[in-house]
Structure 1
Amino acid sequence: MNRLTHIFVIFLLVFVLIVSPNAEKFEIAQIRYGGGGDWYGDQTAVSNWLKILKKRLGMNVSNQRVVVRLTDRNLYRYPFLYLVGHGNIQLSTAETKSLREYLISGGFLFVNDDYGLDASFRREIKKVFPKKQLKSIPNDHPIYHCFYDLKGLPKIHQHNGDPAQGFGLFHDGRLVVFYAYSSDIGDGLEDKKIHSDDPPHIRQQAARMAVNIITYVLTH
């Protein structure tokens, strides 16, 4: 990102989330789902993510994560949903319908593969949008360059040898789902003591990708 664009993005974020008199604190809502896939994972990641947004972007943020079910009446209060897990995800018919309506109405979903999530997520997101396909997000996509200039989705945690890869689902040309496969951004955002073997530069990459995701969502 060039310097002029960088300054513009900061100005826009400040105006929307700080200067606006009716601005509420930005919140990240973590989805509680069924199926036994550890929906509650990365328990310190969201709060640390919010701190990073406050420090690096000057955003007015909440102090902690919010937990929601897809059928909660207040779902639309949160423009950004976070889903993480190690294994099976299972969405009910009502949850599937609610997520579809939320996404086509302007909401955004970030999915973090904490290893073992891939098969069930692909199955469930196909129920949400039967006629759509997850598409590989190329390394020149704005989500990797809208604030920090990254080479692509960083590999944070070495669960296996698979390369990190970003996938997206689009509706009417808008990216509504960003799926981080074999990267595990959440692990890199957790308290340092939880993954003490992660070197500082890896944690820095996770933080930068996390900032880019939010910047992209709020400016596109």
Structure 2
Amino acid sequence: MKKSFCLLLIFCFSFLFAQEVAVLKYNGGGDWYANPTSLPNLVKFCNQNINTKINTKVNSIEAGSSTLFDYPFIHMTGHGNVVFSPSEIENLHNYLLSGGFLHIDDNYGMDEYIRKEIKKIFPNEVLQEIPSNHNIFKAPYNFPNGLPKIHEHENKKPQAFGIFVENRLVLLYTFESDLGDGWEDKEVHNDPISIREKALKMGANILFYAFNN
């Protein structure tokens, strides 16, 4: 039995028994642990509003771990440097080809580093901007203008980039939006309810797409 098929079976069986999400740990000095309340808050929002049944305990997972395949959805964030080893690159590549989904949210300062690492994971693919009419912006909440702006940094427009495998989005990179800041506990950034709700709804769309495509 080919290795890729075995990995796909592992992924499918883990998905059948539970919906799990995790935060990706990485090397290089960047703060992978930034926004600790973000993903737990997004999970709670989704369970309450779009009828998901995601485990409310959010774990952290290393990029090279074999248990990466236990999680259909992995979230990654931070402000600085990112470095994946060759074995981690291979593991992430296999994970994404086997049905996994990686959302990378630049928390400001990650861009120049993460683009190089994405290229290592998919050397033959182009990180392309996702148009506003893509399904990820349509359900369960409608974002006709595409990725929303949550926090301002350099007066640049928010952009969503992706890697597609056989027309399926497997890696989503959100830039100049800072969705994770909008998912954090209210007192962290004191964002108005309208901003936090916009961020959580966009996050719900991302999870919905990851679990249904």
Q: Same fold (TM over 0.5)?
A: yes
**What SS does structure 2 have at the residue aligned with 1:194?**
helix
Corresponding residue for residue 136 of structure 1: 129
The 8 Å contact of residues 70 and 95 in structure 1, kept in 2 or not, is answered as: yes
Matches within 5 A, 1:25-174: 25-150=18-143, 151-174=145-168
The 8 Å contact of residues 46 and 64 in structure 1, kept in 2 or not, is answered as: no
Separation of aligned partners in 2, 1:182 and 1:33:
21
Detail structure 1 runs of 4+ shifted over 3 Å in the superposition: 22-25
> Identity, % of aligned pairs?
40
Structure 1 counterpart of 2:188, from 164, 178, 194: 194
Cα RMSD over matched residues? 1.2
Shift in Å, 1:142? 0.7
TM-score of the aligned structures, taking structure 1 as reference length = 0.87
Structure 2: which amino acid aligns with 1:88? Answer: N
Per-residue deviation, residues 144-201 of structure 1 (Å, max 9, x unmatched): 00211112100001122111000010112211101100101100000001011x2111
Separation of aligned partners in 2, 1:93 and 1:149:
39
Structure 1: which amino acid aligns with 2:28? Answer: G
TM-score of the aligned structures, taking structure 2 as reference length = 0.90
**What SS does structure 2 have at the residue aligned with 1:120?**
helix
**What SS does structure 2 have at the residue aligned with 1:160?**
coil
Count of residue pairs the alignment pairs up: 198
Structure 2: which amino acid aligns with 1:162? Answer: K
Separation of aligned partners in 1, 2:20 and 2:68:
12
Separation of aligned partners in 1, 2:42 and 2:18:
14
Structure 1: which amino acid aligns with 2:52? Answer: M
The 8 Å contact of residues 20 and 70 in structure 2, kept in 1 or not, is answered as: no
Q: Indicate whether 1:216 and 2:209 are aligned.
A: yes
Matches within 5 A, 1:6-17: none
Shift in Å, 1:23? 5.2
Separation of aligned partners in 2, 1:74 and 1:157:
33
Shift in Å, 1:132? 0.7
Shift in Å, 1:27? 2.0
Separation of aligned partners in 2, 1:63 and 1:179:
24
Corresponding residue for residue 9 of structure 2: none
Separation of aligned partners in 1, 2:113 and 2:196:
27
